[in-house]
Chain A
Amino acid sequence: MARALIILAHAAIVVGLLFGAARADTAADAQAIEKFLAKGQALFVDQEYAAAIQALSPVTRDARATRAQRLRALEIVALAHFIRGDEGSARATFERILDIDPGYQLRDTSGSPKIRAFFDELKKQLIPNYDPNAGADLEHAAPTAGTAARVIELEVRATRGSERVFEIIVATRRRGELAYRFIGALPRGDGKWRARVTPRPSSKPYVLEYYVEARDAGGAPIARIAAPDTPLEIALAAGGGDKTPWYGRWYVIGGAAVVAAGITGLVIVANSGPGPGTLPPGSVTVSP
């Protein structure tokens, strides 16, 4: 039994390490892609268009890149091709963008009417019923008060342009803090989204500030309710305490998991054999 518990403990540690490693890998992947993007963007700004294309092309083929990262890279590559006069390559790259997101809106801030006209014309050819005046309007419902450490639900609805909304983000922070925490809302259909926010525990009441942002598939904001500088507020009562309770500490959870796994393993070992199985009815006869 002692040996079984040791094996299970080792298994639990290995599982923990694997999860940790996976999370670290994901973060490292995102950082690596961001480095490529930053380099490509800088080259583009410096009018090194061929070098920008070369730097960003790997991102457009990298499966680790998020959709937003891939779209950002593709747009810069397409713009670089266009500026270099290679309209064929620009068109092919813009088509890849529209394959990923038919509602994509250029993030290009140059204001070049030639670029926008080229992209809009391509969109008209590829996307039925394309409306150049795209965008989205949001409305939302949220409680005016809540309790710290308890879930608050926010309902968001895109009243216009819901087909262009690929992501709804709710940004929250405790009043007095500078940085926001971002929580993704889940789509509920019919242009509706729902976010479940769990404010940080606190032994004292505090005010939760928030704003809501709709993003297109490229990650570009296309609509907002409030804004980072002018957030909305929810008054929170004290709840949860500031410290992690003893039962929430990792070593307590880990120890309990090992003990539970050991007991489960022993139960399974004890129940195996010619006696009834664990699945009802325990025993069956093939051809009575």
Chain B
Amino acid sequence: MRSCSVAVVLALASCDGAITLEIAGDRPIPRTLSSICVGIADTEAIGGHLGQLYQLTGELATLPQTLRVDPGRASRAYLWVRGDRGGVPVTYATTTTSFDGDVRIALDRCPLGRGGAPSPMGDAVGPASARLVTSHGSGNIVVALGVEATIIDAAGGKATAVAGPALPAGTIVAAIAVDVDGDCDDDVIVASDAEAPIVWRRDHRNFTVGAPLDSGPQAALAAADIDHDGDLDLVTGIGSTLSLWYNDGAGRFTLDVDDLESNGRVSSVRALALGDVDVDGNADLIVGQSGGPLTAWLGGPNGLFVENDGVVPPVPLAVAALSLADADGDVDLDPDLVVAVRDAPMRLYIDREGQLEDQSFVRLPQPAPIASAIAVASWDAGRCEPDALAAGSESLALHGEPDAFTVEAMLGAANDVVMIDLDEDGDLDAVLATPEGVRWLAR
């Protein structure tokens, strides 16, 4: 047994096939990383699946952390980690192992990608002009919601497509990835204009249709651990109504009427984003409308949202989509607001001490891109600054510089874009929804 210990310290496989999974990273804890969800699954669908959320407090308030992983009957396994900040998933890392050596997964503040220009990998697959949702777990996949639901994966350097669950009735208006049952893989919630949002539970690389929310149709969705009980809760919105749904940990959502009230501040909810804007460890809510002003609610430690007029300039915008993600690569990695505006230039609001400041003119190439969807993440081998992809009639790859984005490449027409390590090679890829189908881009 002692000889096995020495072998693992030297980063060799132990004599019984067990390996050590090391989760590392240089993100300050808990300011930029408050919890991690560690998932391990046999690559065979009939094999085991383990998922566990760890709050990075007390003895776990530092990285690296380790876990001994015994393969049992598995010959190969997926290993992945989701990093949360203030209850909001903000970073992912995925790899695979054949149990032939220890594995290190890093949640670094500055994940660099590969050099070279982005280029298409294989042909477009799946439905045309789809809405895209990423799903991390037993392999990274993208769910494309078009005339039908399709699961997009990568194999042999090409994108592949298999049929997904049946779509709900009506037109799909929103969809998000959210781990509803605490197994660390991303389930999907789909909202249509005809039915209540419905949960699609992920099982290995497929989805099964679960229960709908006890509500009418909703126009926008966002998820975060609002009450800090270890599971991801849900905020929905439509018209002048915002609703908070607490998760019981098993994926059953209960409406809470006390902790979030719209108070007449919104009239046409179109998009929602949750992120810890004021860096107090709680998820804050930004609401985008179809022509009304951006509005914000600050989250508290007990789940209570308090409206706040000072967070974001109340400029009326016809919001198409919005997201909170680090866009300026500053040291605290606080979430900046990226807004796709219908038929108008995109907006970029930089988080400065909890206030989102419009720096569109300063940081975006002029004229700013008109986009229907925007993804922000580091995916080149250059500097640490995040890059961006803007999907529109002329989609753009934007390269992040210290103080601004510059145009790196023109990518053709697309209506949606996401970034995910689709082939699990350790580098982010881009996936665009185009009129020809779903296209995978990699460097």
Interface residues of A (CB under 8 A from B): 22, 60-64, 66-67, 70, 96, 98-102, 128, 162-163, 165-167, 184, 186-191, 217, 264, 268-269, 271-280, 282-288
Contacts and interface: CB of A to CB of B under 8 A. Distances in A.
Given A64-B403, A190-B306, A287 B360 contact: no
Nearest to B305: A189
A274 B4 contact: yes
Q: Which 3 A-B pairs have the closest CB atoms?
A: A189-B306, A277-B66, A63-B403
Contact of B331 (A22, A166, A271, A283): A22
Nearest to A288: B72
B40 A286 contact: yes
Given A99-B315, A274-B68, A287-B73, 18 more contacts: A61-B361, A64-B403, A101-B313, A167-B310, A188-B306, A189-B306, A264-B62, A272-B8, A273-B9, A273-B20, A274-B7, A274-B8, A277-B20, A279-B52, A283-B67, A285-B72, A287-B42, A287-B71
28 contacts: A60-B362, A62-B362, A63-B362, A63-B402, A99-B360, A99-B361, A100-B313, A100-B358, A166-B310, A186-B354, A187-B278, A187-B310, A188-B306, A191-B309, A264-B62, A277-B20, A277-B65, A278-B60, A279-B23, A279-B54, A280-B54, A283-B67, A284-B50, A284-B70, A285-B48, A285-B72, A286-B72, A288-B72
A167 B352 CA distance: 12
B18 to A, nearest CB: 6
A283 B18 CA distance: 9
B68 A96 contact: no
Contacts of A60: 361-362
B157 interface: no
B218 interface: no
Interface residues of B, number: 68
B69 A284 contact: yes
B148 interface: no
Contacts of B363: 63
Nearest to B304: A189
B353 interface: yes
Interface in B179-223: none
Nearest to A101: B313
A272 B9 contact: yes
Contacts of A279: 23, 38, 52, 54, 60, 65-67
B8 A217 contact: no
Contacts, number: 153
Nearest to A63: B403
B316 interface: yes
Given A63-B363, A102-B313, A186-B354, A282 B68 contact: yes
B313 A217 contact: yes
A172 to B, nearest CB: 19
A245 B212 CA distance: 60
Interface string B288-304: 00000100011000000
A61 B404 CA distance: 10
Contacts of B372: none
Nearest to B40: A286
A22 B308 CA distance: 31
Nearest to B12: A274
Contact of A277 (B5, B67, B313, B359): B67
A99 B65 contact: no
B77 interface: yes
B375 interface: no
A209 B40 CA distance: 59
B207 to A, nearest CB: 22
B307 A282 contact: no
